[in-house]
Structure 1
Amino acid sequence: MAGGGAWLGQVVAQPAAAPAAAEGAIGGLTTPPLYAPSGRRPKYRRATWSQQFQASHGWTPGGGGTASAQANDTSVFVRGTQSVRVTTNGTGKQSYVRKTGMDALNLTNKMIRLVFRVEEVTNLSKLVFYAGSGSLANHFSWTFHAHSKTAANYVQSGEWVTVHLQWADVTGAAGTYSLSASGTPSTKTGFTDLSFALYDNAGGPVTYHLQAVELIPDTASVFPKGVVSITFDDSHKSIHDLARPVMDQFGFPGTVYNIADAIGTGSFLKLGQMRSMQDFSGWEMAGHSYANATHTASYPKLTAEQADDDFRKLREWLVGNGFSSEHFAYPHGAFQKTSDGVPVDQIAGRHFTTARSIISETIESFAPAMPYRLKALTGINDGTGIGGTALSKVTGEGGRLDRCANSGDWLILCLHKIVEGAPATSTEIGKAGLTSLMKAIDDRDIPVLTVEEAMAHYK
């Protein structure tokens, strides 16, 4: 026993009321792909402390936003024989599952793993986790999901979701706790109170299930200053002509997510350039889509069969042209369901070992919580008034690089086109801005790995 009713030991997943797409073949796609993923990825990290919400767990559902709750719900679960079920009241107030007064926890070199499910996300606003003391008078908070009405969301309806929370992701502090200018917490020990909180958008109730709150080792002991992966989408020729020379100066490789049938046309990369970058600078040539039309539309606009066919052609094209990467990035970050209701990330898993999104609510981790929803920071640029992510938010004090270096995390950066002068859109970065970004990484002595290298590091 650990953590006041926590249940440790071997976990045997026994899903109940699982979505139909998770049962049997994926959307009826029964024919194995010619090039199936090898599955070379880090093993599941075992918890050092675990609360799985089985009998006598001692946590309490509540809050001004809660309408009803069942602390021992045996109808929907993915571990053991039960989970906690809560329904909000549609007022936008906090609804929570929490426990206070526990034996003090030490979160040094630890990250928090959450396993939960939201039945219908239409009225979901945000999810927050709190760790503190003094009945949470003192606490750190992680706002780890803010729901979007338009973009792809990490949390989707009726599915079990795993999230890793790291010290790089802390968004707030209260009471005697504080965060330094560089984002370093004032303490990582003495936590007696934990709370999982959900807020609806005041448009109606939300039902959610909490299955696990756990502590697992972070990777600071392996990568004390974190790891950065520099990725580029869309196969722009400027990646070879402008980005590569800058990155060669620092000895940094990149990962390019390619559109197969754009290669060799117009302003896109040529095969010889791709091979040169791979063979002489250590770059990774990964997949983005086979057809340019698919990239424009995005996979959720296709049927499951059409999406699977594009994935298959893409992987065959990569292998046939000497590119061994098993990694993929969703066009526009879209991995929602296909037009006939099959989750795109499940189809991606038939062909690739990981798939990258453009969600950046938290920094990615080793092992990734969900390898087919890798998180990445996109829109980084050195322009003015063009949107995206200002370069200073990455390189400045307390920015993403500082947080990565201070917490030993995996920061995946997503870039697109490089330009000689000032960028005109959020998908462009100037050569000067790119140079500044590379220097900031180098100054912090953060190692740079391709996605393939990062995933292969933990076998």
Structure 2
Amino acid sequence: MGRRSALRTLGVGGLATAGVGGLSLLATADAAPADGLLAPPYAPTGVRPRFRRATWSQQFQSGHGWSAGGAGTASSNPADTEVFTRGTSSVRVTTAGSGVQSYVRKTGLSAMDLSGKMIRLVFRVTDVARLSRIVFYVGKGGLKDAFSWRVHTHSGTGTNFVQSGEWVTVHLQWADVTSASGAYTLSAKGEPSVRSGFTDMSFAVYDDAAGAVTYHLQAVELVPDTATAFPKGVVSVTFDDSHKSVHDLARPVMDPYGMPGTLYNIADAIGTGSFVGVGQMRSLQDSSGWEMAGHSYANAVHTASYPKLTAKEVDDDFRKLREWLVGNGFTSEHFAYPHGAFQKTTDGVPVDQLAARHFTTARSIVSETIESFAPAMPYRLKALTGITDGAGVGGTALSKVVGAGGALDRCAGSGSWLILCLHKVVAGTPAASTEISQGGLRTLMAEIEKRDIEVVTVQEAMGYFR
């Protein structure tokens, strides 16, 4: 297979399957095939919002007129015909390894109105080992007046949304804007002073000053946001790990508001120790409208996390989990990665591509931008995690979520989809970042209600705009 065809889009989630002798063989664009995987007994229906068509699009074909530059750029090709995922070319840039900004930029465009719009970026980083961050700028006057979005900040220890050698799609909404400069400002609630009159755009990449980074930019587009359907945004309140406290302490707080949650379950844990039983799961689902989703089948697998297993071990756990959920009357096709990890398996297959064989979405704990409709990458749903009202326990302080300019204000101001990831609810004082007090949860629900933000399960959210 030539390099160009190896980089083609291979269908849903970037994968292709071929049946041989009753087996389904998984082939991925950027990893070796994982042979011998059985066909899923419960394949996902894939019910999710339609791909949102661009109202303006720059796809970086020959003659596009954008320029690569910046003191951090060592070399570039404005029309690289070797690596692309649309048309016949993309922009290729290699940084200088100096930690200084490298960019692909266009100024003097016809003035744009970004009201009711979000920005869609499609790009690829060959090797993220030396990547520091990616920033996108929109403004005017040679970007003297500009808003900026932190597209990605690379972590040397955590799971990264941007993985080596993969085409990545990111949506940037007004809820995500990081800073303003020049004549532009952000209000105390994070609202931009203007949303129109923009003539300049810049996609900027910074390496870590210890080595060069090669990146390809394929598309910069404007697509409609969903503020018309959710003028004050929408929130999904999710809980990981099947803790019994979700039934005993969270449900009594959320029921009076009519707010359902999504519980991501470990099948092995159900009915043991401090975890919910099947009867409690059914009560949450049938009486309160909650969604019973998947988190792993085996406790040991959850503890290890999928990237520490082979592709077959991961696929087997997915298969057993879906069989358990369906067998117990739980119809959710949605999943959350243990520890948020979706990197490649020990034998080189991306975990999110295995998830696509069994589930319609898979949620991470990446939160550098807020999720959107349709999700840019439904097998890497973004979520804000570690929300706690405990003191000195790490995580995300509840005050930063509910306070001025926090996640709720930004969600309400842009019509975006904010996914919150909680774990255990406690009656007293939280002792870890994975705990929130019942009083803290009550505050969170009251603040959502005060802003008139609709609360839906992940399953319900994915049913909109079909």
Give the TM-score category using the shorter length. Answer: over 0.9
* 1:89 to 1:362, Cα distance in 2 relative to 1, 3 A: same
Deviation at 1:29, TM superposition (A): 4.7
1:136-164: CA deviation from partner (whole Å, max 9, x where unpaired): 00000001210001111000000100000
Deviation at 1:31, TM superposition (A): 2.9
Q: Which residue of 2 aligns with 1:11?
A: none
Alpha-carbon distance between aligned partners in 1 of 2:318 and 2:16, rounded to the nearest angstrom: 21
**1:322-343 alpha-carbon deviations (Å, 9 max, x no partner):** 0000000000000000011100
CA distance in 1, matches of 2:16, 2:259: 42
What residue is the counterpart of 1:347 in the other structure? 354
CA contact (8 A) 2:7 2:85 kept: no
> CA 1:15/1:172 → structure 2, altered by over 3 Å: closer, same or farther?
farther
Alpha-carbon distance in structure 2 between the residues aligned to 1:183 and 1:321: 44
Shift of 1:195: 0.3
Q: Which amino acid aligns with 1:365?
A: S
Question: C-alpha deviations, 1:381-408, integer Å up to 9, x for none?
Answer: 0011110000011000110000000100
1:397 correspondence with 2:404: yes
Letter of the structure 1 residue corresponding to residue 413 of structure 2? N
1:237–1:269 Cα contact (<8 Å) kept? yes
Which of 440, 446, 453 is the aligned partner of 1:446?
Answer: 453
- Is the contact made by 1:38 and 1:353 (CA closer than 8 Å) also made in structure 2? yes
Q: Is residue 310 of structure 2 the alignment partner of residue 323 of structure 1?
A: no
Q: Does 1:457 align with 2:464?
A: yes
- Distance in 1 (CA, whole Å) between partners of 2:440 and 2:5 is 48
Aligned equivalent of 1:181, options 181, 188, 200? 188
Is residue 2:65 matched to residue 1:58?
yes
Q: Which amino acid aligns with 1:274?
A: M
Q: Runs in 1 of length 4+ with deviation above 6 angstroms?
A: none
- Contact in 1 for aligned 2:9/2:85 (Cα 8 Å): no
Residue 276 (structure 1) aligned with residue 287 (structure 2): no
The answer (yes or no) to whether the contact 1:17–1:75 under 8 Å persists in 2 is no
Match of 1:363 in 2: 370
> Residue 28 of structure 1 aligns to a residue in which SS?
strand
Q: What residue in structure 1 maps to residue 315 of structure 2?
A: 308
Name the structure 1 match of 2:213. 206
Does 2:235 align with 1:228?
Answer: yes
**What code does the residue aligned with 2:353 have?**
Q
Corresponding residue of 1:193: 200
Aligned residues with identical type, % of pairs: 71
**Residue 55 of structure 1, CA deviation:** 1.4
Relative to structure 1, is the Cα distance of residues 22 and 40 closer, same or farther in structure 2, using a 3 angstrom cutoff? closer
Contact 1:18 1:159 survives alignment (8 Å): no
Q: Hey, what does 1:7 align to over in structure 2?
A: none
Structure with the larger strand share: 2
Give the equivalent residue in structure 2 for 1:337: 344
Secondary structure, counterpart of 2:300 in structure 1? helix
Contact 1:115 1:211 in 2 (8 A): yes
Unpaired segments ≥5 residues, structure 1: 1-13
Aligned runs of 1:88-127 on 2, under 5 Å?
A: 88-127=95-134
Equivalenced residues, count: 446
1:156 to 163, 166, 180: 163
Q: Distance in 2 between matches of 1:23 and 1:354?
A: 17
Give the match's secondary structure for 2:320: helix
Alpha-carbon offset, residue 22 of structure 1: 4.9
Q: Aligned equivalents of 2:120 and 2:460: distance in 1?
A: 24
SS at match of 1:315: helix
Rate the CA distance shift 1:23–1:447 in 2: closer, same or farther, 3 A.
closer
Q: Provide the alpha-carbon RMSD of the alignment.
A: 1.2
Distance 1:443 1:107 in 2: 27
Tell me the SS of whatever aligns to 2:410.
helix
CA deviations 1:190-223 (Å, max 9, x no partner) are 0000000000001100000000000000000010
Q: Kindly provide the amino acid, as one letter, of the partner of residue 359 in structure 1.
A: V
Write the letter of the residue equivalent to 2:317: D
Q: What CA distance in whole angstroms lies between the structure 1 residues aligned with 2:288 and 2:7?
A: 49
Cα drift, residue 19 of structure 1 = 10
Q: In 2, are the aligned partners of 1:16 and 1:78 still within 8 Å (CA)?
A: no
Equivalent residue number for residue 374 of structure 1: 381
CA distance in 2, matches of 1:233, 1:18: 35
1:44 Cα deviation from its structure 2 partner: 0.9
Instruction: Pick the aligned partner of 1:260 from 253, 256, 267.
Output: 267
- Paired residue for 1:46? 53
User: In structure 2, how many angstroms separate the alpha carbons of the residues matched to 1:304 and 1:30?
Assistant: 9
1:35 to 42, 45, 60: 42
TM-score (norm 2): 0.94
Partner of residue 430 from structure 1, selected from 412, 437, 449: 437
